[in-house]
Amino acid sequence: MTDSTANNGIDARTAPYAALILRVGLGLLFLAHGLVLKVMTFGVAGTVGFFESLGYPGFFAYLVILGEIGGGLLLIAGAYTRWIALALLPIMIGATLQHAGNGWVFNAPNGGWEFPAFWTALLAVQALLGDGAFAVKVPALTAPATAARRPEAA
């Protein structure tokens, strides 16, 4: 075992780039799903109508559209990655539950549940991994390092 994989088998040199690839991939999926599918393909009114046809209040559609587009952009940027991934979990859990009765395969009529379930799992992984490489940091909102957290202070 090398120094970079000691203790857990994860290569500390490449893990930030793996988190970056996952983060940008998730962000692009959310952006495409919210903007291209819900806004540009179905239209906002069509999406609201679809949500209402499922028995959900129409305003949920606006929350989901905002969550998918805003969350996607923030994931791509790497801003507040853990929090954004956690905030998007209810959307994907809801999507998984909505598709659960359609069967396993996503090309089943009305879509299966495996893709939203996998997407949910990926969000959980991203929340555990954190930002990864090339993430936007907002200094005013970043917690200051304490003496206990800084190795050089020990």
* HEC string for 29-92: HHHHHHHHHHHHHCCHHHHHHHHHHCCCCCHHHHHHHHHHHHHHHHHHHCCCHHHHHHHHHHHH
pLDDT given at position 107: 81
> Cα 59 to the chain's mean position, in Å?
21
pLDDT given at position 138: 79
pLDDT along the chain (154 residues), means of 10: 71 96 98 98 98 97 98 98 98 95 85 94 98 88 55 50
pLDDT given at position 89: 98
Helices (H) and strands (E) in the chain, counts: 5, 0
| Both tokens assigned to 60 | 């949920």
pLDDT given at position 5: 65
- Nearest-angstrom CA–CA distance, 27 and 22: 8
pLDDT given at position 108: 83
- pTM higher than 0.75: yes
**What is residue 13's three-state secondary structure?**
coil
Q: Are the beta carbons of 120 and 30 closer than 8 angstroms?
A: no
